[in-house]
A and B are shown apart, each in its own frame.
Chain A
């Protein structure tokens, strides 16, 4: 079935089964492999993308469901070779170690309210597992990013 998708500001038409996981459509049909699979059952958050601004596990979403919606993946963060401020904050604070959770973690962070407290950051990232960092540096990065957003 032909589906029209809006991903990172660009329009795409893909020929896929409507129930194909959005994760697979992104990775296989659009070659956007920055979105990762960690468990395939909505537990680890490695496949988190934004759908109309909301953080969603792409492994649980059928492709047909995002027709007409705006999908944003990690590839949509940097523009013209300039890193997004959140990406820079992740680098500055050592928030990316092995990097496999990083794209999903950043997408989840982007869905946080602008004035999030540390407790809200913790709650907002609870669906994203990281096995490397112990999360401390991720909080630092997200807090640095949000502090900049407030200005």
Chain B
């Protein structure tokens, strides 16, 4: 590795596990680290533009209804206010949020289909006046019947079917058929920085264009949405990502809506307009993880062999389509869990309800469907009287096995290895914990504080119930099926006199994009990490590298950058080190003015996918995971608490081990939060607990020690073998915890979040 980075020089924990690699596999200094620890990093709410107004949104307060009138209080002083409603969207612009379909309006026209749906936009230079004014506008409705429960809903937004083998024959041959129904709740991404943008009239030389700065994952999604809304060509729309305080999917599609709103206000006012949501508004208005209900029917041989899997999967889409079809697709493809079966049938549907649309959230449907699969595995084990680990080993994917979509798993299959490693790591941790507990127990006995036995599952005298649960899972990296071909992502490298600059539309949202991409390019070019600079994510400068989602930023975009680096290296000819690189670079720049290599995604030849029949290679590669949860339940309060968590994930190659561990630890804890604490309470179609006081995410005190091990089964088409890392870790924790609760109590829960109320209901 480069001995010392000029940027923040903080790579003390470099490990030598990377052999010949000098940068990849080493813990180089985080690219934007210094700005973040000094408070110098500028997030959207830290920016103030000259003559700027503040914008706010008038939202529906009924889940379904016809808008009869919107009325401003005539007694109020409306001086300095700017108003926008749907009539301000004029041809060639369209009142439609450009996503998979165009069913969602930016502003309601005559009907509202969910609570908190935007109706009017209001702006003023003074925030207090703005809030006062907003409160003086009333909407009169003719209420309509609202469908709020997706389990009884009948309108289907999207349906897909996956079929493989002869299911009837499998069930006819079965010794036992095991059936179970599983439910998961909504979850809020809860980035600590709320959604926010600033729109300003004009883009570069185009006075009639629009520029939007903001917190977001996908600047080019926002470009597309603004083009449709305003009827502008691409040259007149510029989007700049500002330092972004977390995304987790919650800033994948939603910023398109918010950017559109701010743009409408800015164009009408002729001034910059800032819209930054307060936490309450962010919680009631923005997307959440889709709630799910999933039923499994499994045809089993007595010896524990799975013959056939029949799954019915429904998601709560909310009022509009947003990204639900692709969330459904990923949920369905992962619905079997990492297990083979000759016959599979998966029916998936997204139901329409009169609730705010649900959308992207880390895992994208796979956490829901693999929760069901893994809790169901424990149910099968119990019904067959087979040990859960043995049952899993018997059916777990090996190289050469075939998935539900008929994908033959050629390489990088680590399902067994992650299980073995997790069991080994858990055994070590358990030993240590027992030793520590022994000490505490001995101490406690002296003080008379130990009241009862702490044996697995056996409670006496108010001692906690303890249990351990397992979950195995996998996660496809990159867009599903032909998605990457359609995206045709571009990324590249520009030569500078001091090194190179990366031109990439992928965003840094905390996961380490900038650092990891720079490492891949430094390694590929054979130059020090600190010679790599990254252009700001400004659509006027960087190409469309596809969205920063779907665990694709390293494996897919990183590979494009690697190819660009290889091409650039060939153009430069021989050089031995950074110094001679610079010499050659300057020469080439003198001769050509600018030197840029932009590469486009290339489909690896062995990936084949049929979008009509839903058959083929759903993903280029899968990450593999194993989780073991140790939990205890207070027998009086029924509060379950995770006491230790083991997460072993195969990601192909850790480009930056500390960053990769950070992804696994953070994703794991977000999964633990979903499993135990995070409960979106809906009343009349609106989030009722929309504040951080009562929507609970894990604090330090709720967080168990998390043991992480990274397994590296390289994928031949990933940069230096890397696969995706961001999402896989959140696929397993909920199932591991619910399985642990069953081990502790002997009772099935079959749902998350496992709140004390739910646990009590199961136990009493």
Known: A94-B30, A98-B192, A122-B701. A87 touches B510 (CB 8 A): no
Q: How far is the CA of A129 from the CA of B246 in the complex (A)?
A: 12
A134 cross-chain contacts in B, Cβ below 8 A:
662, 665-670, 703, 706
Q: Are A99 and B245 in contact (CB under 8 A)?
A: yes
What would be 24 A-B contacts, judged by CB atoms less than 8 Å apart?
Answer: A32-B39, A33-B42, A37-B45, A38-B193, A40-B278, A43-B692, A74-B38, A91-B30, A91-B34, A91-B37, A92-B13, A98-B192, A98-B244, A98-B245, A99-B245, A99-B510, A100-B192, A102-B36, A129-B192, A131-B191, A134-B670, A134-B703, A135-B665, A136-B661
Q: Tell me, rounded to whole Å, the shortest Cβ–Cβ distance linking A147 to chain B.
A: 13
B693 touches A43 (CB 8 A): yes
From 86 to 109 in chain A, residues with beta carbon under 8 angstroms from any chain B beta carbon are 87-88, 90-94, 96-103, 106
B interface with A by C-beta (< 8 Å): 8, 10-13, 27, 29-30, 32-43, 45-46, 189-194, 243-248, 278-279, 509-512, 658-659, 661-662, 665-670, 691-693, 697, 699-701, 703, 705-706, 708
The residue from B8, B36, B279 contacting A38, defined by CB atoms under 8 A apart:
B279
Q: Which 4 A-B residue pairs are closest in the complex by CB-CB distance?
A: A34-B39, A98-B510, A100-B245, A99-B36
The verdict on A133 contacting chain B, using a C-beta distance below 8 Å, is yes
Q: A90-B37, A98-B510 are in contact. Are A133 and B665 (CB under 8 A)?
A: yes
Q: In the docked arrangement, what's the CA distance between A149 and B748, Å?
A: 49
Tell me if B662 and A94 are in contact (CB < 8 A). yes
Interface of A, secondary structure class, is: loop
Closest to B694 in A: A43
Q: How large is the interface on A (under 10, 10 to 19, 20 to 34, 35 or more residues)?
A: 35 or more
Contact (Cβ within 8 A) B192 A131: yes
Which one of A88, A128, A135 lies within 8 Å of B669 (CB-CB)? A135
Instruction: Return the contact of A34 from the options B27, B38, B190, B693 (Cβ within 8 A).
Output: B38
Q: Which residues of B contact A78 (CB under 8 A)?
A: 38
B-side interface mostly: loop
- Closest A residue to B673 by beta carbon equals A131
Contact of A94 with B246 in the complex, beta carbons under 8 Å: no
Query: A59-99 CB contact bits vs B (8 Å, 1 = yes)?
Result: 00000000000000111011000010001101111101111
How far is B40's CA from A34's CA once the two chains are assembled, in angstroms?
A: 6
| Inter-chain contact A137/B662, CB cutoff 8 Å | yes
Contact of B697 among A90, A92, A131 (CB under 8 A): A131
Extra contacts besides A40-B278, A75-B38, A99-B37 (12): CB < 8 Å: A27-B46, A37-B45, A46-B192, A87-B38, A97-B510, A97-B511, A99-B32, A131-B189, A131-B190, A132-B510, A134-B662, A136-B705
CB distance from B694 to the nearest CB of A (A): 9
With the chains together, A126 CA to B667 CA distance in Å? 19
A7 within 8 Å of B (CB atoms) = no
Q: Which A residues touch B670, using CB under 8 A?
A: 131, 134
**CB-contact partner of B192 in A40, A101, A121, under 8 A:** A101
Say how far A24's CB is from chain B's closest CB, in angstroms.
Answer: 10
**Beta-carbon nearest neighbor of A94 in chain B:** B658
| Residue from B32, B39, B659, B667 within 8 A of A73 (CB atoms) | B39
Contact at B665–A129, with CB atoms within 8 Å? no
Chain A hits for B39, CB < 8 A: 32-35, 73-75, 103
A125–B666 alpha-carbon span in the complex (Å): 16
**Contact, CB under 8 Å: A94 / B659:** yes
Q: Determine the residue in chain B with the shortest Cβ distance to A78.
A: B38
Q: How far is the CA of A128 from the CA of B703 in the complex (A)?
A: 13
Residues of chain B contacted by A75 (CB below 8 angstroms)? 38-39
The contact of A132 among B27, B40, B278, B666, by CB within 8 Å, is: B666
A76 CB to closest chain B CB (Å) equals: 9
Give CA–CA (A33, B42) in the complex, Å.
Answer: 8
Residues of A within 8 A of B246 (CB): 97-98, 100, 131-132
